């Protein structure tokens, strides 16, 4: 990293926390020659989450949907420092950040480090919400990060192998082969669809007697699934589930989980509530997200953030309220937009271009300070005013939503410019889903790997190995 900008001013430093949608999009578009840029994240790769529900069943290989953060950094104009660590604390008055390295004894080795920053960009994402429901954290699998997908796969195949030891039709075999997904948002719907495809197309080939006893169930607290999509698509998704024999239990909230049973209460039409106990073999919890612990810690330290519940409150330029030089993007920021990769991506892109404009403003300010006469000062001031007016508020441009629903069908709310939108579902929408996700992949390498995985599965099927 060099210390000076092209205009001869001292370079400011930007520290970016995270390597997900927000951070990676910002880094990809940032002119890193204008700042000293450091990325801090415990994960040294970007994860393409839209295809994460395809990973546990092997439709997509886990290695195909990751991109090393160093490879993204390498494609920027100047050197970027990456530090594999967790941000643990920020002093917004002293502009310092505390980080913790992954080793548990790092602190005692004196590795707990403090980093100074001029600008801090918080893009630490969110974490799965268990709502403190007893037993969820201990017994459920999640689908948020790459290791989660590997754990789901292990659990799934463990259930299959164990079940094969019990006689056909036995209660224990039935329990082990009951795969339950909780949460009818897009994560739960996509995974339930992928899981049923795997059972019908692959498990059925290798272990037909097991496959015919597998039951995939999705439990949703609200009266419909995919509530953020158009109404017509709720019905389409629900009908597709019925065609594919995925059981849908609606109006039902899970309130307790043990290693073998789920307790849930169903709100009935007459207003009464019925308690159910559901035996299960594998439970995948996809019931939404909540702010990360680091985000809550930061909120608690800034007075202007009092009352923030769903993320850091930011102004129209994505600056954290109550700070001068801390920004927040993606799922950790509360902007009124949904917590999606699409939003985080656009926010990252916006900050990259805003920081380029801010660097130009800094240069003009130092030019103004050096101006020797009033004529020169007036000219520089006019350029500075023009540059300042270039910093516009963040504006989200919704491009549509897509979700796989299983059986080679997908649903989509497509937006055509600012004037029209279409809701569509079916096999053709599945092709739109596939081409959109290929287009959204962060690199040519990822695009090639994902396309190759799809081709491989269509020719050779998925496997049954648990590693
Ligand atoms: P993330 O992408 O989660 O990244 C957070 C980063 O911060 C990670 O690198 C993490 O390691 C790092 N981090 C965490 N804690 C710290 C810390 N203390 N210090 C430093 N770094 C830290 N959205 C869509 O628009 N379309 C989709 O199709 C879609 N599909 C999805 C499928 C699944 C299964 C899931 C779970 C989500 C999906 N989403 C989708 C939502 C999307 O993934 C999120 O909205 C998006 O990832 C948010 O981006 P982010 O940068 O805020 O957080
Ligand atoms: P979500 O918040 O969208 O859905 C969670 C669902 O779980 C809700 O419908 C909620 O009613 C239900 N739920 C909560 N507690 C429950 C309980 N105790 N019992 C039964 N049901 C319960 O969560 P998600 O699907 O993980 O999505 C998170 C974010 O990521 C959303 O913004 C979503 O749009 C985005 N995402 C998008 C895509 C896509 O566009 N294809 C895919 C995955 C995620």
Domain ranges for the chain, please list them. 12-42+85-128+290-379, 136-287+399-460
Cβ burial of 311 (10 Å; 0-12, 13-18, 19+) is buried
CA 233 centroid distance within chain:
23
Lowest mean pLDDT among 8-17, 51-60, 229-238, 280-289: 8-17
One DSSP character per residue, 68-112 reads EHHHHHHTSSS-EEEEE-EEEEEETTTTEEEEE-SSTTTTTTT--
Is the Cβ atom of 130 under 6 angstroms away from ligand 2? no
Q: Is the pLDDT of residue 281 over 70?
A: yes
Mean pLDDT confidence for 436-452: 96
Mean pLDDT confidence for 102-109: 65
The CATH-assigned architecture of domain 12-42+85-128+290-379 is: 3-Layer(bba) Sandwich (3.50)
pTM, two decimal places? 0.96
- Residue 438 is inside which H or E element, if any? helix 427-440
As a whole-number percent, the residues of the chain with pLDDT over 70 amount to 95
Residues in the chain: 467
Q: Which ligand gives the minimal distance to the CA of 265?
A: 2
Each residue's pLDDT tens digit, 146-185? 999 999 999 999 999 999 999 999 999 999 999 999 999 9
Is the Cβ atom of 86 under 6 angstroms away from ligand 1? yes
Non-local (6+) Cβ contacts of 206 within 8 A are 464
Ligand 1 center from residue 355 Cα (angstroms): 22
Q: What ipTM did this prediction achieve?
A: 0.98
| Closest ligand 2 atom to 219 CA | 20
The two domains 12-42+85-128+290-379 and 136-287+399-460 share their CATH topology (first three levels equal): yes
Residue that has been written with the tokens 């918080």 in this structure: 122
Q: Which of 406, 428, 405 is nearest to 414 (CA)?
A: 428
Q: Is 132 helix (H, G, I), strand (E, B) or coil?
A: coil
CATH class of residue range 136-287+399-460: alpha beta
Mean pLDDT confidence for 15-40: 98
Q: Is 401 helix (H, G, I), strand (E, B) or coil?
A: strand
One DSSP character per residue, 22-69 reads HHHHHHHH--TTSEEEEEEESSSEEE-GGGGGGTTTTSS-GGGGEEEH
* Tokens, residue 277: 């106990």
Is the Cβ atom of 220 under 6 angstroms away from ligand 2? yes
Q: Is the pLDDT of residue 410 over 80?
A: yes
Is the Cβ atom of 412 under 6 angstroms away from ligand 2? no
Each residue's pLDDT tens digit, 58-95? 999 999 999 999 999 999 999 999 999 999 999 999 99
Q: Which of 219, 161, 199 is nearest to 57 (CA)?
A: 199
Mean pLDDT confidence for 348-370: 95
* Tokens, residue 281: 């073999």
- Distance CA(432)–CA(434), nearest Å, equals 5
pLDDT of residue 213: 97
Ligand 2 center from residue 189 Cα (angstroms): 9
For ligand 1, atom 9, name the residue with the nearest CA: 19
Report H helices in 180-325: 186-198, 204-206, 208-211, 231-243, 293-301
Q: Is the pLDDT of residue 108 over 80?
A: no
Residue 152 or residue 5, greater confidence: 152
Helix, strand, coil share of the chain (percent; to 5): 40, 25, 35
CA 127 centroid distance within chain:
9
Task: Choose the residue to mutate in 50, 183, 257, 415 for probing ligand 2, maximizing ligand atoms within 8 Å of C-beta.
Answer: 183
- Distance CA(258)–CA(263), nearest Å, equals 8
Ligand 2 center from residue 23 Cα (angstroms): 22
């Amino acid at each position: 990293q060099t210390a000076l900008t092209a205009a001869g001013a001292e370079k400011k430093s930007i520290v970016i926390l995270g390597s997900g949608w927000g951070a990676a999009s910002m880094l990809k578009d940032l002119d890193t020659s204008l700042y000293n840029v450091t990325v801090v994240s415990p994960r040294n790769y970007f994860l393409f989450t839209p295809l994460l529900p395809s990973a546990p069943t092997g439709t997509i290989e886990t290695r195909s949907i990751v991109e090393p953060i160093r490879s993204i950094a390498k494609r920027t104009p100047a050197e970027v420092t990456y530090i594999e660590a967790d941000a643990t604390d920020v002093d917004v008055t002293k502009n310092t950040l505390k980080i913790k390295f992954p080793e548990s004894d790092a602190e005692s080795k004196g590795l707990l480090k403090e980093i100074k920053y001029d600008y801090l960009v918080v893009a630490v994402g969110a974490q799965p919400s268990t709502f403190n429901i007893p037993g969820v954290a201990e017994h459920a699998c999640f689908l948020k990060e790459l290791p989660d997908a590997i754990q789901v796969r292990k659990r799934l195949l463990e259930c299959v192998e164990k079940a094969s030891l019990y006689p056909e039709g036995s209660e224990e075999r039935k329990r082990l082969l009951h795969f339950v997904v909780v949460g009818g948002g897009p994560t739960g719907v996509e995974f339930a669809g992928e899981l049923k495809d795997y059972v019908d197309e692959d498990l059925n080939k290798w272990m037909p007697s097991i496959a015919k006893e597998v039951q995939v169930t999705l439990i949703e607290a609200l009266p419909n699934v995919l509530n953020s999509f158009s109404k017509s698509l709720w019905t389409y998704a629900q009908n597709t589930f019925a065609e594919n024999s995925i059981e849908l239990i609606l109006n039902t909230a899970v309130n307790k989980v043990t290693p073998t049973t789920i307790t849930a209460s169903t709100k009935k039409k007459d207003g009464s509530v019925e308690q159910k106990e559901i035996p299960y073999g594998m439970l995948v919890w996809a019931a939404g997200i909540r702010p990360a612990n680091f985000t809550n810690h930061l909120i608690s330290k800034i007075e202007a953030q009092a009352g923030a519940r769903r993320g850091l409150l930011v102004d129209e330029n994505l600056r954290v309220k109550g700070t001068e030089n801390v920004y927040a993007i993606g799922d950790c920021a509360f902007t009124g937009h949904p917590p999606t990769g699409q939003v985080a991506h656009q926010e990252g892109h916006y900050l990259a271009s805003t920081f380029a404009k801010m660097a130009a403003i800094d240069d003009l300010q130092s030019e103004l300070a050096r101006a020797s006469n009033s004529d020169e000062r007036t000219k520089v001031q006019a350029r500075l005013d023009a540059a300042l007016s270039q910093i516009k508020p963040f504006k989200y441009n919704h491009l549509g939503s897509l979700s796989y629903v299983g059986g080679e069908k997908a649903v989509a709310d497509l937006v055509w410019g600012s004037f029209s939108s279409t809701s569509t579902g079916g096999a053709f929408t599945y092709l739109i889903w596939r081409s959109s996700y290929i287009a959204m992949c962060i690199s040519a390498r990822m695009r090639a790997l994902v396309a190759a995985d799809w081709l491989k599965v269509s020719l050779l099927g998925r496997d049954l190995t648990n590693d």
